[in-house]
Copies of this chain bind each other. A is one copy, B any other.
Amino acid sequence: MTDTPQYARVNGRFAMHRGGWLESPSVAYETWGTLRGKGDNAILVFTGLSPSAHAASSAENPAAGWWEEMIGSGLPLDTDHYFIICVNSLGSCFGSTGPASTDPLTGQRYRLKFPVLSLEDVAEGGYVVARHLGLEKLHTTIGCSMGGMSALGFCVRHPGFSDGAILISSATRALPFSIAVRSLQREIIRRDPKWMDGNYDPADPPLTGQRLARKLGMITYRSAKEWEQRFGRERVTSEGRGGDPFFSEFSIESYLEMHANRFSGQFDPNCYLYLSRASDLFDLAEHGGSLKTGFSKLRLKRALVIGVETDILFPLHQQRELAEGLSAVTPDVRFVPLACIRGHDSFLVDMDAFRPVICSYFETCGS
């Protein structure tokens, strides 16, 4: 029996990709299933921007995880056969060292003294965990959304360590639409007077800015088509408009409100800002000077790339680009575009579409 999450700690300085370093940072992780050999059956999962390492329930923590329907006995990431590891991104606030953590050298929270965060650092956090667990290889590295770029960062920095990769609703790099959205989300938080240049009271964070930024997030995580079918012009109520000319009467408005309130208290604002910027900065082409060179460094044996037609944050043509780039240097690449209508979030909410695709990857390559 172990605590949940567990921690891998770096002894000494951890050099950051874009300069600066952290003193003895920790990376939180959880595992499911039983390790075989030095990693022959090990699967490493990198998350999107906001989840913790708690991807699935366990004896130690029975709460449902963010990928509960994907990980378990008889599920696509089958704990009867595989040893699955999920890491909390370095820079996040669910156990890994991030801007909300205490700098051991000063005894104060890092806040904006945390060095610039890159997804290469998040990737390296995954490597720290793998080595901590004694792994010398991985069966497959998986990344969803931002996590797909972290997975690319992992493979490009440790070529050949992982035999395979599953990249879901991700990209080689961010395009200006998603940079614009994230830049605006960050500015909304930073303009909240309670942010105080990052020096907010942790008990009284810039919740208004966080709520508004989350609403903008939701607008880009789902799809117009889904909302048209689901909400149309449905009203929650038309009573109460009374003297308020901007009364929120449409169902879509209360849906956004509900999601914003659910998220905002959980995530540290500075951690959010750092991870959001890291998503903008990542570019596979920086590894060798071109995308082609970046791809050539990955040294994968197989890859599965999945994308969703209605995704506006990581649009489908970016997954096509990923698959094409991988195909030039990887023996076995499969690209699966899905017709899900729930946009970027489909990998979290449309399990019926994703499960068979991921199952077939593992059936094909065996374990």
A contact residues vs B (CB 8 Å cutoff): 112, 114-117, 173-177, 179-181, 183-184, 186-188, 190-191, 193, 208, 212, 215-216, 218-219, 224, 227-228, 230-233, 241, 243, 245-246, 248, 250-253, 256, 273-274, 277, 280, 283, 312, 315
Q: A219-B177, A233-B176, A233-B283 are in contact. Are A117 and B245 (CB under 8 A)?
A: yes
Q: Which residues of B contact A218 (CB under 8 A)?
A: 180
Distance of A249 from chain B, by nearest CB (Å)? 9
| Ranked 10 nearest A-B pairs via Cβ | A177-B224, A176-B252, A176-B227, A176-B231, A183-B253, A184-B215, A116-B245, A180-B252, A175-B228, A191-B208
**B191 to A212, Cβ gap below 8 A?**
yes
Checking B175, B184, B256 against A180 with a beta-carbon cut-off of 8 angstroms, the contacting residue is B256
Q: A219 to B181, Cβ gap below 8 A?
A: yes
Q: Smallest CB-CB separation from A216: which chain B residue?
A: B184
Which secondary structure dominates chain A's binding surface?
helix
Indicate if the CB atoms of B212 and A180 lie closer than 8 Å. no
A315 to B241 alpha-carbon distance, docked (Å): 29
Quick one: closest B residue to A208, CB to CB?
Answer: B191
Decide yes or no: A175 and B212 within 8 Å by CB, A180-B219, A245-B114, A245-B273 being known contacts. Answer: no
B227 touches A175 (CB 8 A): yes
Residues in chain B near residue A116, CB distance under 8 A: 241, 245
> Are the C-beta atoms of A177 and B277 separated by less than 8 Å?
no
Q: How far is the CA of A180 from the CA of B253 in the complex (A)?
A: 6
- B residues in contact with A273, CB < 8 Å: 245-246
Contacts of A208 in B (CB 8 A): 191
Given A179-B233, A180-B252, A193-B193, 14 more pairs with CB closer than 8 A: A115-B245, A175-B228, A176-B228, A179-B253, A180-B219, A181-B219, A183-B248, A183-B250, A183-B256, A186-B246, A187-B215, A224-B315, A250-B280, A312-B312
Q: How far is the CA of A273 from the CA of B245 in the complex (A)?
A: 9
Q: Looking at the complex, which one of B180, B212, B274, B277 makes contact with A187 (CB distance below 8 Å)?
A: B212
Determine if B252 and A219 form an interchain contact, defined as CB atoms under 8 angstroms apart.
no
Q: Do A228 and B177 form a contact, CB below 8 Å, given A188-B188, A190-B246?
A: yes
Q: Are B227 and A177 in contact (CB-based, < 8 A)?
A: yes
Q: Closest chain B residue to A270 by CB distance?
A: B245
Q: Quick one: which of B112, B183, B187, B215 contacts A245, CB cutoff 8 A?
A: B112
- Complexed CA–CA distance, A196 and B187 (Å): 21
The closest CB in chain B to the CB of A281 belongs to B249
Pair A180/B277 contact, Cβ less than 8 Å: no
Q: How far is the CA of A248 from the CA of B248 in the complex (A)?
A: 34
Q: In the assembled complex, which residues on chain B have CB atoms less than 8 Å from the CB atom of A232?
A: 175-176
Residues from chain B with a CB closer than 8 A to the CB of A193 are 193
Instruction: For A183, list chain B residues within 8 Å (CB).
Output: 248, 250, 252-253, 256
